[in-house]
Structure 1
Amino acid sequence: MSTSMNTDHQHKVCPWWVAYTFDNFLRRKIDPADKVLSQWVRPGMTVMDFGCGLGHYAIGAAKIMDGRGKVIAVDLQEKMLEIAMKRAAKAGVDYMITPVRCSAYSIGYSGELDFIVAGNVLHETPDYCEVLRGFHGMLNSGGQVYFTEPKNHLKEEQFQTEIEAARQSGFKAEQLPTSFYARRGVLTRI
């Protein structure tokens, strides 16, 4: 990724220990990953959970694929990856998940993908435009990205700049209805 900085978002990474305040039993009730992702994820796919945190979406995707497919769990923080893999082992899906540590300026994975989930993370990257271009380059034709941003961190106008950046990166972009805690969108590689 390039080293240019976002001008309308603040680049600040959530510490691993803070993730427990929002990635917990309540989130699994409000935002059940397997239910949310089931409209896009199918067995046999290669899925990337970018900014996987404690593994919420990576584990959900692995459960949907039921042993047929793979999940690439990408995060900047080694501790997040360690906790995600422990949670995946507890859920019985760790064999399907490959942890990958990224850097602030590199996604850390370059293989082909069918689907990407980026939950509450684009605003944390130094250059979300570059991340979106990277996603576009990794996705197979027709591949999709489901992304969310926390309402308490990102104003509607800022979310719209991400949607527009996705369009400029070659995606068809659709804003989904806002959930209890997040602004949401789905991008399709065209």
Structure 2
Amino acid sequence: MTIPLYLIALFIAVGLAWRLVSRRHALPCPAWLRWMVELDNPFAASNKAAFIVAQLQIEPGMQVLDAGCGPGRVTLPLARAVGPQGRVLALDLQPAMLELVRTKAEAEGLDQVRTQAAALGQGQLAPGQHDRAVIAAVLGEIPDRRAALADLFHSLKPGGLLAVAELVFDPHFQPRSSVEKLAHSVGFQSHGFHGHKAAYLLVLQRPVAEMP
């Protein structure tokens, strides 16, 4: 069964409107639409949770941040990777999303998951706490993306890695060139790239030795 053209036009119009509004206001995916972001996209291998975790080379005992965690698509695989001695901080603006993460973590016995209701770009993250961080299909939802990346930079330990996952199906999609320009401006160095222009995983690193 084909999708009527007017429905396609409606989806495009809604996506464009959402993108425009999010340039001035934080506009995360609402909890009632969590089914749209709860599962891996089958057409974007570089955005799958298992792939993201693998590229971050996570070791047991690490401290990891999942920024804009949503319903926990990446949070739970991260928690399994760090093990009982590690910790994953699930950060999101929406209490309803954080409650979903807590419920799922409790069901799996993943006591290493912690949650925090906060917005990126407002200096609410403790500095130098994390070995790894993830921001998956979230950066474009944040009006001040440079401030958000600065928060993530300072939350990492020297040598820590940040994985930025983007895919074109997201109305807030950010091109690789834009992300790299902003990331480099706050101090990140490029560490790795996977995928292509329409769906990619960009791995950035906080340098071990930083300029004074």
> TM exceeds 0.5?
yes
Does the 8 Å contact 1:123/1:149 carry over to 2? no
Does the 8 Å contact 2:137/2:165 carry over to 1? yes
What residue number does 1:127 align with?
Answer: 144
- Residues 96 and 107 of structure 1, relative CA distance in 2, 3 Å threshold: farther
Does the 8 Å contact 2:61/2:83 carry over to 1? no
> Are 1:109 and 2:125 counterparts?
yes
The count of residues paired between Structure 1 and Structure 2 equals 180
Find the aligned partners of 1:142 and 1:174 in 2 and give their Cα distance.
11
What residue number does 1:118 align with?
Answer: 135
What residue number does 2:82 align with?
Answer: 65
3-state SS, counterpart of residue 178 of structure 1? strand
Shift of 1:91: 2.3
Find the aligned partners of 2:155 and 2:206 in 1 and give their Cα distance.
10
- Residues 34 and 104 of structure 1, relative CA distance in 2, 3 Å threshold: closer
Q: Which amino acid aligns with 2:87?
A: K
Shift of 1:104: 6.2
Shift of 1:131: 0.9
What residue number does 2:10 align with?
Answer: none
What residue number does 1:18 align with?
Answer: 33
- Residues 107 and 82 of structure 1, relative CA distance in 2, 3 Å threshold: farther
- Residues 182 and 154 of structure 1, relative CA distance in 2, 3 Å threshold: farther
3-state SS, counterpart of residue 143 of structure 1? strand
Does the 8 Å contact 1:102/1:108 carry over to 2? yes
Q: TM-score, normalising length from structure 2?
A: 0.74
- Which of structures 1 and 2 has the bigger CA Rg? 2
Shift of 1:113: 1.0
Does the 8 Å contact 1:34/1:64 carry over to 2? no
Find the aligned partners of 1:155 and 1:52 in 2 and give their Cα distance.
17
User: 5+ residue gaps in structure 2?
Assistant: 1-19, 208-212
Q: 1:27-176 to 2 correspondence within 5 Å?
A: 32-40=48-56, 41-93=58-110, 95-103=111-119, 105-106=121-122, 108-111=124-127, 112-152=129-169, 153-154=171-172, 158-174=175-191, 176=193
Provide the alpha-carbon RMSD of the alignment: 2.7
User: 5+ residue gaps in structure 1?
Assistant: 1-6
C-alpha offsets along residues 69-90 of structure 1, whole Å, 9 cap, x if unaligned? 1011000000000011111122
C-alpha offsets along residues 8-62 of structure 1, whole Å, 9 cap, x if unaligned? x7353211121212313766x9655245313421111110000000011111111
Percentage identity across paired residues of the two chains: 26
